[in-house]
Structure 1
Amino acid sequence: MPLAVYILGLSIFAQGTSELMLAGLLTGISNDLHVSIPQAGLLISAFAIGMLLGAPVLAIATQRWSRRTALLAFLAVFAATHVVAASTASYWLLFATRIVGAFVYAGFWSVGAATAIALVPETARGRAMSIVAGGLTVATIIGLPAGTFIGDHLGWRGAFWTVAGLSIAAMIAVFAKVPDTRPAEPPRVRAELRALAIRPVWLLFGTTVLTTAAQLVSFGYLGALLTETTRLAQNWVPVVLAVYGAGSLLGIAVGGRMADTHPTRTLVVGISGVIVTSALLASTAHHLAPVVVLVFLLGAFAFGTNPVLNSRVFTLAPAAVTLGPAGNVAAFNVGITVGPWLGGLAIGAGLGYPSVAWIGAALGVGALAFVGWSRALRPATATAAVAEPSVIA
């Protein structure tokens, strides 16, 4: 595996830490900028907005740039937004930096994925994407608690300064080790859109949305479930979240090994695991021991599907080297937005925190149905399969 792929994963870690750490900084931001906690929480929504828009827009805007130049530009802007954020006393300027930072972060995801895929043979695509996406998993395990720790001891601004420093370090590594290459042919937006406008690709994106939402609807309210339903002391919640992160790391490592040779099995096992784990989590939410085990399994099964969901579009739509990964990023972020929103509706309706896990199980059933639908589209012969591939190989 080329060193450049690991550097792309390191860059995702630096940026992903910023995406995750805000959950532990809201109180400090609220007190310092004299806004309410809900207002501070809107900064998370601002980041989601930037992520949804950034991938397709920047994929098109930078389509004629060399990939290294685009990656360096995205990292430079990301670092700059954090310098501004750490220096401002204005809530609305901070809000704007979150949108802009997420905007270029999404661009980095799409271009970085295309870069990683271009550096490895077809038989190693899933493994390469597991390393790139693994940067976000490491951010869950290390970046989130570290950002919270820094925020508690140096203030929320210290956490933003730290992310700026990590982003600059990532820039240096990208400049030194990522090849300065361009796509073999200048991307053509219309041709790429045509390549994506096929049912297997949209089923893949739909699977990504539902699988991600199934995972995030439970994870988004996991801390509240642990304290309100399981009755775990608040100071032990980060430990359980670390258990989730450990499961995620194991899942993405195993999924990366299986994604290229057994994409069907990887998706079916991973999504089925999310369904069963979510249902058991809802049923045993009042008991600590099974909850801890199930939290580990939820992270493992959910992230085990990640390498297939990230890499499969390059097989289904090889002509869409620019907009394919951008569509992936958008699909993931739709799922990230929809899952917690549905969970919030259930909690607001008085159904209790275990209900969010039942929603996760239902969303997982929908994702598995999409996989089955895609499998049914597979041509009967190998020749036809080459002409019209499906999500499942």
Structure 2
Amino acid sequence: MHEKAFAPQCAAVTEHAQPHERRGQTLTLLALAMGSFCLGTSEFAPMGVMPLFSAELHLSIPEATNAITAYALGVLVGAPLVTLSAARLNRKTLLLALMALFVLGNLMSVIAKDLPMLMLGRFVAGLPHGGYFGASAVVASYIVGPGKSGKAFAMVMGGQTVATIIGSPLATLLGQGLGWHETFLAITGLGVLALLALWSWTPRTDALRGGPVMQELSALRRLEVWVLMVVAAIGVSSIFAVYTFVGPIVTDVIHADPSMIAICLAVFGVGLTVGNVLGGRLADTHPTLGLVLGFGATLVILAVLAIGGGELWILMACLFGVGAAMATAVPTIQVRLTQAAPEAPTLVGAMNLAALNVANAVGAWAGGVTIGLGLGLLSSAWAGFACTLIGLLIFVVTLRIAPRPAALLAAAKPGERA
């Protein structure tokens, strides 16, 4: 579905909405955010309870990261396959189907008794992730109006960033108190609530109908789309190289009480939320600043973390900083993707989230490699440093062959600014 197809309706809805209509728009955005909150909690919670399921299943920390990698693989596989197979579906129907699949995957994780079963559950739970964010970005853009795609994406991502403040830390505490199976059971229950909210509050309108598969596939012919996905997959992986090992760092490096794990995860989430808001604004006003600034700041903070992260206060400050800096960059990637392929907003949104979950796998893998080599848990920050540096260099070098800002503006809707 071409974004321009619903731009006129969107403008009318947002500029002339009556109070009851505005209330309906708010509820729609809330439902979308609830879904992304569930997805974010499901993505990040296993990192907080990794010490629990690794101990129960008799796994080393590097082995336990396979469960996290399985979720990322599900996102990578599901983003293009689910989006393209459901290209003609109304976006509301697609969102409901994806959330139902999410519930199924987490229910499989609840009953897992060994690593292969847990990995299968995580894989299934990851399948709808990219498609959900792609479809949600389209619906949110319809709600907020033209020229605000960065703001719309930030709203959808807001649920995921709040998940890192509330959902993941609470899931970690729940796991520590009752067990990691109960953590996934709670996430399953949240998914059911989000499914009901999407059913009740998302509008069904022809403006959100799907489009031809070939129209969506046309995005994959654009060089900048592939460049940006590579930049996201490699550059953003540093946050996962750090976040994945927060639990072991707190308990084994700092020797703090395990209850501090949830607090550290929440601090990281606050940073993500702050950066997401700032990044959404930058993405709508400047075509490159958010990414360059975010990646550059992340490099500095990771170096500080690698050197001084053995102190709790330094760890917490760096977790906030890494979250805020990297989240500033992500909306810029999404907006540039949408402008590079405006006829395929759902697919590029899904592929962006797929790339970000490849970053999840790359970060966990890179950190696991350095730790496995005996370089210590804090060496994961250096692994992340290398990844973000590579991503930044790729972006800067390929700016010469990517569309210039003027070309991006020409591809955008009338009146929209990159």
User: Could you list the runs of 5+ residues in structure 2 that have no partner in the other structure?
Assistant: 1-13, 15-24
Deviation at 1:145, TM superposition (A): 1.9
> What's the C-alpha RMSD, in Å, of the aligned pairs?
3.0
Q: What does the per-residue CA deviation read over 1:281-327, in whole Å, with 9 as the maximum and x for residues that have no partner?
A: 22323444333322211111011112222332111111122321222
What is the DSSP-based 3-state SS (H/G/I as helix, E as strand, rest coil) of the residue aligned with 1:122? coil
What is the DSSP-based 3-state SS (H/G/I as helix, E as strand, rest coil) of the residue aligned with 1:376? coil
Deviation at 1:36, TM superposition (A): 2.2
The residue that corresponds to 1:44 in the other structure is 68
Whether the 8 Å CA contact 1:196–1:320 is kept in 2: the answer is no
The residue that corresponds to 2:22 in the other structure is none
Deviates more, 1:204-213 or 1:153-162: 153-162
Amino acid at match of 1:360: G
Whether the 8 Å CA contact 1:230–1:286 is kept in 2: the answer is yes
The residue that corresponds to 2:175 in the other structure is 151
Whether the 8 Å CA contact 2:91–2:208 is kept in 1: the answer is no
Q: 2:341 is matched with which residue: 317, 322, 337?
A: 317
Q: Kindly tell me: are residues 380 and 86 of structure 1, through their superposed partners in 2, closer, same or farther at Cα, counting changes over 3 Å?
A: closer
* Matched residue count: 389
User: Could you list the runs of 5+ residues in structure 1 that have no partner in the other structure?
Assistant: none
The residue that corresponds to 2:125 in the other structure is 101
Deviates more, 1:86-95 or 1:47-56: 86-95
The residue that corresponds to 2:332 in the other structure is 308
Amino acid at match of 2:193: A
Deviation at 1:61, TM superposition (A): 1.1
Amino acid at match of 2:263: V
Q: Does 1:282 align with 2:306?
A: yes
Q: Does 1:10 align with 2:51?
A: no
Q: Kindly tell me: are residues 244 and 282 of structure 1, through their superposed partners in 2, closer, same or farther at Cα, counting changes over 3 Å?
A: same
Whether the 8 Å CA contact 2:129–2:353 is kept in 1: the answer is no
The residue that corresponds to 1:139 in the other structure is 163
Q: What does the per-residue CA deviation read over 1:128-151, in whole Å, with 9 as the maximum and x for residues that have no partner?
A: 111211211111111112112223
The residue that corresponds to 2:5 in the other structure is none
Amino acid at match of 1:58: V
The residue that corresponds to 2:57 in the other structure is 35
The residue that corresponds to 1:250 in the other structure is 274
The residue that corresponds to 1:21 in the other structure is 45
Q: Kindly tell me: are residues 377 and 185 of structure 1, through their superposed partners in 2, closer, same or farther at Cα, counting changes over 3 Å?
A: farther
The residue that corresponds to 1:217 in the other structure is 241
What is the DSSP-based 3-state SS (H/G/I as helix, E as strand, rest coil) of the residue aligned with 2:200? helix
Whether the 8 Å CA contact 2:87–2:216 is kept in 1: the answer is no
**What CA distance in whole angstroms lies between the structure 1 residues aligned with 2:105 and 2:128?**
10
**What CA distance in whole angstroms lies between the structure 2 residues aligned with 1:374 and 1:254?**
25
**What CA distance in whole angstroms lies between the structure 2 residues aligned with 1:157 and 1:225?**
23
Q: Does 1:119 align with 2:143?
A: yes
**What CA distance in whole angstroms lies between the structure 1 residues aligned with 2:75 and 2:210?**
25
Amino acid at match of 2:248: A
Deviates more, 1:135-144 or 1:102-111: 102-111
Task: State percent identity of aligned pairs.
Answer: 32
The residue that corresponds to 1:130 in the other structure is 154
Amino acid at match of 1:22: P
What is the DSSP-based 3-state SS (H/G/I as helix, E as strand, rest coil) of the residue aligned with 1:9? helix
Tell me the TM-score normalised to structure 1 length. 0.87
The residue that corresponds to 1:190 in the other structure is 214
Query: Superposed, which structure 2 residues align to 1:317-336 within 5 Å?
Result: 317-336=341-360
Deviation at 1:183, TM superposition (A): 6.3
Deviation at 1:277, TM superposition (A): 0.9
Deviates more, 1:35-44 or 1:123-132: 35-44
Whether the 8 Å CA contact 2:175–2:183 is kept in 1: the answer is yes
Q: 1:204 is matched with which residue: 219, 228, 236?
A: 228
Whether the 8 Å CA contact 2:78–2:128 is kept in 1: the answer is yes
Amino acid at match of 1:36: H
Whether the 8 Å CA contact 2:237–2:359 is kept in 1: the answer is yes
Whether the 8 Å CA contact 1:5–1:128 is kept in 2: the answer is no
The residue that corresponds to 2:202 in the other structure is 178
Whether the 8 Å CA contact 2:134–2:345 is kept in 1: the answer is no
The residue that corresponds to 1:272 in the other structure is 296
The residue that corresponds to 2:4 in the other structure is none
Deviates more, 1:122-131 or 1:270-279: 122-131
Q: Kindly tell me: are residues 361 and 321 of structure 1, through their superposed partners in 2, closer, same or farther at Cα, counting changes over 3 Å?
A: same
**What CA distance in whole angstroms lies between the structure 1 residues aligned with 2:40 and 2:75?**
12
Q: Kindly tell me: are residues 383 and 87 of structure 1, through their superposed partners in 2, closer, same or farther at Cα, counting changes over 3 Å?
A: closer
Tell me the TM-score normalised to structure 2 length. 0.82
Whether the 8 Å CA contact 2:224–2:402 is kept in 1: the answer is no
Q: Kindly tell me: are residues 97 and 341 of structure 1, through their superposed partners in 2, closer, same or farther at Cα, counting changes over 3 Å?
A: closer
